[in-house]
Chains A and B, each alone.
Chain A
Amino acid sequence: MTGFGRLTRTEWTKFRTVRGRLAAMLVAGGVILGLALSPMSGTCTRDTCGQPVGPEGEQVRDSFYFLHQPLTGDGAITARLTSMTGLLPPEPGSASEDDERAAIGPGGSGGMRPGLVPWAKAGLIVKDGTGQGTTYAAVMATGGHGVRMQHDYVHDRAGQPGAVSDTAPRWLRLTRDGDTITGEESTDGVIWTTVGAAELDGLPATVRIGLFVTSPQHVEALGAAGSASAPTVAAATFDAITRTGAGAGPGWSGEAIGEPPGTPEQERGRHEPAGDGFVLTGSGDIAPAVAGAAGLGVSVTQTLAGTFAGLVLVVVVGTVFMTGEYRRGMIRTTLAASPRRGRMLLAKAVVVGGVTFVVGLVSAAAAVTIGRESLLDNGVYVLPVSTPTAWRMIVGTGALLAVAAVLALGIGAMLRRSAGAITAVIVLTVLPYLLALTVLPATAGQWLLRVTPAAAFAVQQSAKQYAQVENLYTPAGGYFPLPWWAGFAVLCLWAGAALAGAGVLLRRRDA
């Protein structure tokens, strides 16, 4: 056995022969698992709450007002958009509930105020039928992001910026050529610019083509941690509509895709003729589904809530593994047996990190699996994650706990006092997350989650962030400011710095 192997074995023996330490590690694992079983319940069965699945396998939102005709084979549609308006939910606190109720009625605005959310969409779309989650391509004007070409829910390409109005109308054209759909835009109907082209694999010969309008949830932060989301409505005026290709004709059918039953009157989609065109009104979104304020259900990250409790135990064990040496002067025996202090410290780090990693990995795997099943059994809708993401969360949780234990070991070696070291590590790793979740203004909270070791909780992020979906991408909603690898690297930097500092101090100080 090599010298370092022997040293590691020594430290392992030292670790495992203190009964409390192994017990604490097992309790840490148990807590992580136990807190995965949330008593939450809902009304979903395994089939009912699911959202439509897009062509690329992800959960999508697919509800909008669709005025369509069939298209067989190749063809195109062109239209001019002359206005885009909308209604936002009432200003929070502006009207009392009674006023609101009184205002709701046919034609009433229900207390809603005029305004357009940035991702309200109006434009042209080619779609495989009228079912939710089917393949599509669309070119559209938006409330605040200019003209876009989007297809299959997750793909988004920007065209020219600027809003649509009477004085600045926008011409749009969508052309099918085999599986290729091309979107174009123009300000005068003469000079056309291509916004983008999409390849829709396996598009059938006959598809639906037409006009659409939709408007996603309005999301608003309330105070530091609260949030509110409410439906919005958009209306758009189309004229100068021309069609080419088989299936073209004067008849149009209007349909609210994915509109849940019981939708309030003013949010219901409809179309009305206006001049030689139509005014379309719609609500919803054609986009990937997200968790949090703008979405439905809970993310798998929820099942790993116990990580925080486990972390505290792991930090205590990691710290005491070092500071315990200074009690009763055991450090002198240790250093008599292994005089190379830096290697002794490294061996300790390997042991405490290794044990923690194994415990964290096993308990996180169990927590995700069992916790997810129990949520589903209780009728709570859990947003699905891909297998690589699930494994990244599980392995990441083990690694997060292990590196935090090493950080605690390093700080313990520097301070040589348990209470101070434990507090320092907990304040560095747990408190920033809590503050970001509760009192801190969003900017300060996100900044803390970039620079403190708490950044590493990004390994547990399961929800994806999409530029084309307006949401509160906050820690409370399960979103971290750094990608998972960068967040984990921040923790590793802290642990590395603590170990290096401890190594220098150990060598320099008298034992």
Chain B
Amino acid sequence: MKEKTPGEKNQRPSALDGKPLSRREFISRVAVGGGAFVLLSGCSRWVLPGPDDKARERIYEYIAVDYTKCTGCRTCEVVCSAFNNPVSLDGQMMPGPGNPALSNIYVHSFNPDVSAPAVCARCADTPCVNVCPVDPDPVTGRRALFRNEKYGTIANDPDRCISCGSCADACRAESVGILAPHPETGRPMRMCTLCDGDPQCVSACPYNALSLIRITSDQPYYRMSPEEVAKELSKRWYDLSA
């Protein structure tokens, strides 16, 4: 299986493009709370007005799933894989054939019928980065796993990664559980890249079940594992024993 490196790909204009933030700035804005959102997103606070103080703590950009629309078709997986694993042909880069095993979004299907796509939540508190045992680089401050400032995505430096698997464990314990060690190299994979600001899964979903939205930390299902999501949806949709 090929491995992804945190290289920048073809640049395209995006709604998310803006002044890049340094890690320090980023963290300070997290600390500031609601103010950070205004700085990050310009004027779109009206999209999801926080109902209370807690909701205003921090706003995230997040690939949210509308589970009532998702049909489990896995189109998101193949377009993610095609975009993030491009192939060079005669010097020209083009989308790859779309092997779902290389996708960063993973659809989990359950019995009774529930399909729960799992995707990196790009957690503000980055449990995966926090546990990375590699010493921060004196210049950049980055560990082997770090937050890429441009879109706030999580990236791994394969040259410094020691394949310990701590990040995947932390993701499983504290968040979605999407990060997984590569079967051969042991280095983490499936960190969402946001496809340079234009997430392919969002635009290609035939059922409009995915959207890149700004949410508050109390968004339902946020950071839940697909198993937890399925358990809850299954109860809501099918459990009529009560």
Whether chains A and B associate is: no
